[in-house]
Structure 1
Amino acid sequence: MKEKTHLVRNRCLFSIVVILVYFLCHRIPLNGIDMSEYNNAGLDLGAILTMAVSGAGQKCYVMSLGISPYITASLLISILFAMRSKEARARTSPKAMNYWITGVCFVVALAQSIFYALSLKYVEKDLMSILVVIFELMAGASIAQYLLINNKKYGVGGFAPIIIVNMTESLIAILMKSSMDSLMIPLLISFVMVIIMVFMELHEKKIPLQRVSVHNVHAKKNYLAIKYNPVGFMALMFGSAIFMIPQLIVALIHHYHKSEIINFLYKNLNMSTVFGMRVYIVMLFVFTVLLSLLFVNPKDLSDDLLQGGDCIENIPAGKPTRRYIRKWVLFFSCLSGLIMCGCLSLCMYLQFKGIVDASVAMLPTTFMMLSGLLCSVYLEIRAYRDFDSYKPFI
């Protein structure tokens, strides 16, 4: 009899090695930077979204870009790919997609490196110092990308372990600096949000199916599953990138034309103002719904059922099936969007009203993201464990 593959053990060990290498490398300071200008600040929303993919709220480290260029490129290509027809997607090989992701990743990393390098505080700022920093930032992003890609191939969780390390490290630093009195309300809210998000991540809507090819005891176990949190925390992680689009447009208009409205938007369209946070929360909700409809595509799901001769119980095939699936996708995407946006709104309200200290106001959002990432890692490990438990008999 063939021995077990020990798939879970080997993949978990590989991810641990990746985490250790990343942990040792991601706090190497950039050459020529005045480190005294960079002291770790509190956890505002912008810092949370930055540290999730870069591992630091500051831009003074070699790996300050982190995995941001790669996952931004992956999201962009995935969205463009999902918008294509089903036939066009079938003709595109994974290798071709990887080429596109790598190309876009290089462009994003170069643009971010230049932007970061120009905004840093140097001991002696000159052209050579800026070029060296750009090269170091690009190198750090390449190393992070290499670790991420190999973890996706041979480890568990894809990019989740690296983000978990980033957020856990920053969380520990914040918790150690804060008093118990200032942590009471944020930790209570965090506890409630973790319970809600773990429930949504681990549960799914099971829509019973009638399959023409199954006529045995397992026929009643066939169903179409829609997760309560359809796209997880993808919208929250990449919402800041979407929010940058109107910011860049306003900044460009402000450079050439200054009016009362443009001046107001230029000063307030950021995550440190109430107005900016409100705009961000609305954009995040819409982005969550659109991503859900894009990646859990009702049209593709209904077409697959129709082509296979299968159907949802008591629902006619074709457009009625599509509308039925779209109804549930919209329901769960709106529900998850409302929960995430509600958590952000509550944190923002507590911060701006002075009820909770600004340094810990965003802890519930951080714990909410961490719980979702840990759930995704757990589900993947469980799938590998189930696969590893099979014992071949031939």
Structure 2
Amino acid sequence: MLTAFARAFKTPDLRKKLLFTFGIIVLYRLGAHIPVPGVDYGNVQQCVNQAKQGNNNLLGLMDMFSGGALLQITIFALGIMPYITASIILQLLTVVIPRLEALKKEGQSGQTKITQYTRYLTVALAILQGTGLVATAKSGALFTGCSVANQIVPDQSIFTIIVMVITMTAGTALVMWLGELITDRGVGNGMSILMFISIAAGFPGSLWAIKESGKLAKGWIEFGTVILIGFVMVALVVFVEQAQRRIPVQYAKRMIGRRSYGGTSTYIPLKVNQAGVIPVIFASSLLYIPILIVQFAGTSTSGWSAWIQQHLVDGKPIHTVIYFFLIVFFAFFYVAISFNPEEVADNMKKYGGFIPGIRAGRPTAEYLSYVLNRITWPGSLYLGLIALVPTMALAGFGGANANFPFGGTSILIIVGVGLETVKQIESQLQQRNYEGFLR
């Protein structure tokens, strides 16, 4: 591995790409610590230190995706969450709206238009989320239980609020542009790398907080146990993320003039975790909606409000069961809309491909659907179990839920992005590696 890194920096054009990527990462982390105009930074820090344990569900998820910038209300407070949401929405709408489906089939030109629509939707969602964040911070609901929660935004005039929303929206647009710069001129997928950096930035602080709050051998036993659990989880996630069912495909020979084409054999790789981390995000977002309604309704004395606050929070049995089944449901749902067996079967038939032992056309689509359903079951159960690790950490470490760094969503994203980036670096190294006849 170290040899590969040394070779990467010895290659001039690859070294430029790596250094450019590192430079963008530094700018991104710098912006995550610049506060928004109109915010009392001292009061924010005091509330962050007091209320760190109380944030859960979607708020904690958004704070993780922003690298801790959300709760600190910086110019990159919204991070890449609006872009992720916009991308998921457009991917879902592609199945529903014929116009978007036609654009997807047009190739590069259609994909360029869909990317442009994603940018517009990202800005709109950033305005919406920025307004919600400013309103929540102004009312003091962002940090429940903090003594100075109502003093985070001292000047609550309309002009100050508009400036704050515009600054956060501009920060989101800048993050989106930085991500695209990495994709075009750096190494790997820009948005994925920024997401990776945002999550990894919170690891040192979370690990040290576990050590400080530990009681056995000054916290070193708890610290070592969490590190060991992290290694085991990374190994498990790498094993499952790399696992795939390879369906063999044979292409028949075709005679064009005097030449024969085709006759090759390949395979269709169906991943065990075909849905990725999307089901976890969907389930977390859906479960946070009732809590959000209760926070803004202010009807904590009513029966339904008290029931939601008592049962639909992290660590409660009802929340855990609903969360698990929602992840399994959304895993099947997302796989169903992202992989179309009939379309794959039609493309194979068009180019003379067939699965050995399976007739082309409808039988091939039915076979692909059958295999996909069978491998989605273990993939969805794996996602559900991985996502429940913070809840198990809460029971095992006595309140370490907020500090437990190896949560399901974070470890899935870090391992997935890390594997993909390393593969891209290796592929670029192999393109420049020429071996002679003699070693």
Do Structure 1 and Structure 2 share a fold, with TM-score over 0.5? yes
Between the aligned partners of 2:92 and 2:114, the Cα distance in structure 1 is 12
Between the aligned partners of 1:12 and 1:219, the Cα distance in structure 2 is 40
Could you say which structure has the greater relative contact order, defined with CA pairs below 8 angstroms and 6 or more residues apart? 1
The amino acid that maps onto 2:205 is A
Partner of 2:129: 112
CA drift at 1:305? 1.0
Between the aligned partners of 2:176 and 2:73, the Cα distance in structure 1 is 19
Partner of 1:20: 26
Greater Cα shift, 77-86 or 95-104:
77-86
Change (3 A) 1:223 1:151: same
Note the 1:1-20 alignment, pairs <5 A: 8-20=14-26
The amino acid that maps onto 2:237 is M
Does residue 152 (structure 1) correspond to residue 152 (structure 2)? The answer is no
Between the aligned partners of 2:346 and 2:291, the Cα distance in structure 1 is 39
Write out per-residue CA displacement over residues 223-248 of structure 1, whole angstroms, 9 at most, x where no aligned residue. Answer: 11112321322333454334445656
The amino acid that maps onto 1:140 is G
Between the aligned partners of 1:153 and 1:362, the Cα distance in structure 2 is 31
Write out per-residue CA displacement over residues 242-272 of structure 1, whole angstroms, 9 at most, x where no aligned residue. Answer: 44456567889x789x974465236643446
Between the aligned partners of 1:218 and 1:386, the Cα distance in structure 2 is 27
Query: Which of the residues 40, 56, 61 maps onto 1:49?
Result: 61
Partner of 1:358: 401
Between the aligned partners of 1:221 and 1:385, the Cα distance in structure 2 is 27
Note the 1:333-352 alignment, pairs <5 A: 333-352=376-395
Write out per-residue CA displacement over residues 109-168 of structure 1, whole angstroms, 9 at most, x where no aligned residue. Answer: 011011100111425141233222212211211211111122222221331221221112
Q: Tell me the SS of whatever aligns to 2:124.
A: helix
Does residue 37 (structure 1) correspond to residue 69 (structure 2)? The answer is no
Does residue 372 (structure 1) correspond to residue 402 (structure 2)? The answer is no
- What is the RMSD of the two structures over their aligned residues, measured on CA atoms? 3.4
* TM-score (normalizing by structure 2): 0.76
Write out per-residue CA displacement over residues 155-200 of structure 1, whole angstroms, 9 at most, x where no aligned residue. Answer: 2133122122111211111112323222344333322221121122
The amino acid that maps onto 2:86 is A
Greater Cα shift, 161-170 or 236-245:
236-245
| Structure with larger Rg | 2
8 Å CA contact 1:182, 1:360 repeated in 2: no
Q: Which consecutive residues of structure 1, in runs of 5 or more, have no partner in the other structure?
A: none
Does residue 174 (structure 1) correspond to residue 189 (structure 2)? The answer is no
Write out per-residue CA displacement over residues 59-113 of structure 1, whole angstroms, 9 at most, x where no aligned residue. Answer: 5211110111112111111221144566563247123212321221121101101
User: What is the identity percentage for the equivalent residue pairs of Structure 1 and Structure 2?
Assistant: 20
Change (3 A) 1:323 1:242: farther
Query: Which of the residues 154, 157, 161 maps onto 1:124?
Result: 154
Does residue 201 (structure 1) correspond to residue 241 (structure 2)? The answer is yes
Partner of 2:172: 141
The amino acid that maps onto 1:293 is A
Q: Tell me the SS of whatever aligns to 2:204.
A: helix
Between the aligned partners of 1:180 and 1:218, the Cα distance in structure 2 is 61
Greater Cα shift, 296-305 or 68-77:
296-305
8 Å CA contact 2:80, 2:176 repeated in 1: yes
Change (3 A) 1:89 1:349: same
8 Å CA contact 1:235, 1:287 repeated in 2: yes
Note the 1:1-394 alignment, pairs <5 A: 8-31=14-37, 32-33=39-40, 34-35=43-44, 36-39=46-49, 41=52, 46=58, 49-56=61-68, 58-83=71-96, 87=102, 89-91=104-106, 93-120=110-137, 121=149, 122-127=152-157, 128-155=159-186, 156-177=188-209, 178=211, 179-213=219-253, 221-244=265-288, 260-261=303-304, 264-265=307-308, 268-271=311-314, 273-352=316-395, 357-361=400-404, 363-365=406-408, 366-388=410-432
Between the aligned partners of 2:343 and 2:268, the Cα distance in structure 1 is 13
Q: Tell me the SS of whatever aligns to 2:357.
A: coil
* TM-score (normalizing by structure 1): 0.84
Between the aligned partners of 2:322 and 2:313, the Cα distance in structure 1 is 9
Q: Which consecutive residues of structure 2, in runs of 5 or more, have no partner in the other structure?
A: 1-10, 138-148, 212-218
Q: Tell me the SS of whatever aligns to 2:201.
A: helix
Between the aligned partners of 1:70 and 1:386, the Cα distance in structure 2 is 33
Between the aligned partners of 2:62 and 2:156, the Cα distance in structure 1 is 27
Change (3 A) 1:59 1:387: same
8 Å CA contact 2:253, 2:262 repeated in 1: no
8 Å CA contact 1:157, 1:380 repeated in 2: no
CA drift at 1:374? 0.8
8 Å CA contact 1:251, 1:266 repeated in 2: no
Between the aligned partners of 2:14 and 2:82, the Cα distance in structure 1 is 29
Q: Tell me the SS of whatever aligns to 1:210.
A: strand
8 Å CA contact 1:70, 1:145 repeated in 2: yes
8 Å CA contact 2:251, 2:263 repeated in 1: yes
8 Å CA contact 2:66, 2:80 repeated in 1: yes
Change (3 A) 1:259 1:46: closer
Change (3 A) 1:218 1:246: farther
Change (3 A) 1:278 1:129: farther
Change (3 A) 1:47 1:82: same
CA drift at 1:294? 1.9
Write out per-residue CA displacement over residues 28-69 of structure 1, whole angstroms, 9 at most, x where no aligned residue. Answer: 112223323222725956565223421116152111101111
